[in-house]
Amino acid sequence: MEDVAGLAGVSAMTVSRVLNAPEKVRPETRARVLAAVQELGYRPNFAARSLVTGRSGVLGVVSFDTTLYGPASTLYGIERAARQHDYLVSIASLEALTRRSIAEGVERLRSQSVDGVIIIAPHESASEGLRHLPKDLPVVDVGGGEGVPVPVAAVDQHSGGARATRHLLSLGHRTVWHLSGPPNWIDASGRLQGWRSVLEAEGREVPEPLAGDWSAQSGYEHGRRLARDPEVTAVFVANDPMALGLLRALREAGKRVPEDVSIVGFDDVPEAAYFWPPLTTVRQNFGEVGGQALQLLLDRIAGVEGDVRRMVEPELVVRESTAQLR
């Protein structure tokens, strides 16, 4: 740091301010210091910093099934938000979300002296594990349901399901069928409840939902059944990969989308705009969820009490897989 200060013509204290609170330093001074940092290849010593501040500068994330778009995108959103606050992220990836596995994942991260932990826990089975965490460790949950004993940041899944269903009803469909996610997933339950609440409020028939497993294969298999029912004109699918499988099943059965059947997915995966037809879907702002989760955690680390549940509204993205019923 002294070498950087000498090259930039400032004090070591000014270098520290530029690295830790850049908004408090004049732009021209900040530019000189950052140029010196780059020229000298300077990197802060996190071990030394932790001795001074009493904090490691590392946050832990307990995650599950990052092969799925939602958990993987949530993890990326948290990492990006952490970088913006000069935190490193250490990840404990779990094969299952049980009380024991969550406790083991948290202890693994505590052994690395993390300042706090974010748990991506979209399973109902995780609730019990969240009730037995160390009391002295700041913890935030992402995607948790009602009654979780720690602060939560999540997309409003109920609202997303309701938006998708209202859109299909507004196009003149008598009712809307639903291909749901696995019943033990909180996201799936929220989307299903949003779908059901709109149909009941409108006095429409509520068809029996079909439970998939998030995969395109399950969407295809249930789609073959839906394609045989002439009453099916609109389907809300709980994620985009299952919607892709449904599209194929309908095409093989000679059903046209959206002329015969309108479809709405959920997530807005990058490929959704390139399905045929381009998929109407509900977009989740995972970057915003990551930012909200991180802010909740930083507040707890600083001893600030406040919101215990921050919900992020999803957005309906209308493309070409939905149309007015003829």
| CATH code: domain of residue 30 | 1.10.260.40
The answer to the question of residue 49 being in a domain is no
Q: Are residues 163 and 274 in the same domain?
A: yes
- Gap between the Cα atoms of 309 and 322, Å rounded: 33
Q: Are residues 194 and 308 in the same domain?
A: no
Alpha-carbon 43 to chain mean position: 31
- Determine the pLDDT at residue 52: 53
Does residue 68 surpass a pLDDT of 90?
Answer: no
Can you read off the two tokens belonging to residue 31? Answer: 């530019």
Q: Are residues 161 and 277 in the same domain?
A: yes
Residue type, 273: A
The answer to the question of residue 323 being in a domain is no
- Determine the pLDDT at residue 50: 52
Query: Could you tell me the residue range of the domain that residue 62 belongs to?
Result: 54-155+286-312
Mean pLDDT computed over 3-23: 84
Over the chain, what HEC string results?
CHHHHHHHCCCHHHHHHHHHCHHHCCHHHHHHHHHHHHHHCCCCCHHHHHHHHCCCCEEEEEEECCCCHHHHHHHHHHHHHHHHCCCEEEEEEECCCCHHHHHHHHHHHHCCCCCCEEEECCECCHHHHHCCCCCCCCEEEECCCCCCCCCEEEECHHHHHHHHHHHHHHCCCCCCEEEECCCCEHHHHHHHHHHHHHHHHCCCCCCCCEECCCCHHHHHHHHHHHHCCCCCCEEEECCHHHHHHHHHHHHHCCCCCCCCCEEECCECCCCHHHCCCCCEEEECCHHHHHHHHHHHHHHHHCCCCCCCEEEECCEEECCCCCCCCC
Q: Are residues 63 and 132 in the same domain?
A: yes
Q: Which residue has the tokens 């948790």?
A: 144
| Sign of the four-CA dihedral 265, 210, 174, 314 | negative
Does residue 235 surpass a pLDDT of 90?
Answer: yes
The answer to the question of residue 317 being in a domain is no
Total count of domains within the chain: 3
Give the tens place of pLDDT for each residue, 254-285. Answer: 999 999 999 999 999 999 999 999 999 999 99
Q: Are residues 301 and 209 in the same domain?
A: no
Higher pLDDT, 146 or 312: 312
Give the tens place of pLDDT for each residue, 34-62. Answer: 899 888 888 766 555 554 555 678 999 99
What's the CATH code of the domain at 83? Answer: 3.40.50.2300
What is the overall mean pLDDT for the chain?
A: 90
Q: Are residues 180 and 254 in the same domain?
A: yes
Q: Are residues 277 and 305 in the same domain?
A: no
- Return the closest-CA partner of residue 290 out of 300, 298, 282: 298
The answer to the question of residue 269 being in a domain is yes
Q: Are residues 300 and 201 in the same domain?
A: no
Mean pLDDT computed over 9-22: 83
Question: Which percentage of the chain shows pLDDT scores above 70?
Answer: 94
Q: Are residues 99 and 209 in the same domain?
A: no
Instruction: Please report which confidence band the pLDDT of residue 1 belongs to, taking 50, 70 and 90 as the band edges.
Output: confident
Q: Are residues 143 and 291 in the same domain?
A: yes
- Determine the pLDDT at residue 196: 98
Pick the last residue of a domain from 268, 284, 300: 284
| Whole-prediction pTM | 0.82
The answer to the question of residue 322 being in a domain is no
The answer to the question of residue 300 being in a domain is yes
Does residue 128 surpass a pLDDT of 80?
Answer: no
Higher pLDDT, 259 or 18: 259
Q: Are residues 274 and 292 in the same domain?
A: no
- Gap between the Cα atoms of 274 and 277, Å rounded: 8
Does residue 244 surpass a pLDDT of 80?
Answer: yes
- Determine the pLDDT at residue 154: 94
- Determine the pLDDT at residue 96: 77
Give the tens place of pLDDT for each residue, 146-184. Answer: 778 889 999 999 999 999 999 999 999 999 999 999 998
The answer to the question of residue 321 being in a domain is no
- Determine the pLDDT at residue 326: 85
The answer to the question of residue 325 being in a domain is no
Q: Are residues 149 and 186 in the same domain?
A: no
- Determine the pLDDT at residue 230: 96
Can you read off the two tokens belonging to residue 146? Answer: 């009602």
Mean pLDDT computed over 240-255: 98
- Determine the pLDDT at residue 54: 53
- Determine the pLDDT at residue 239: 97
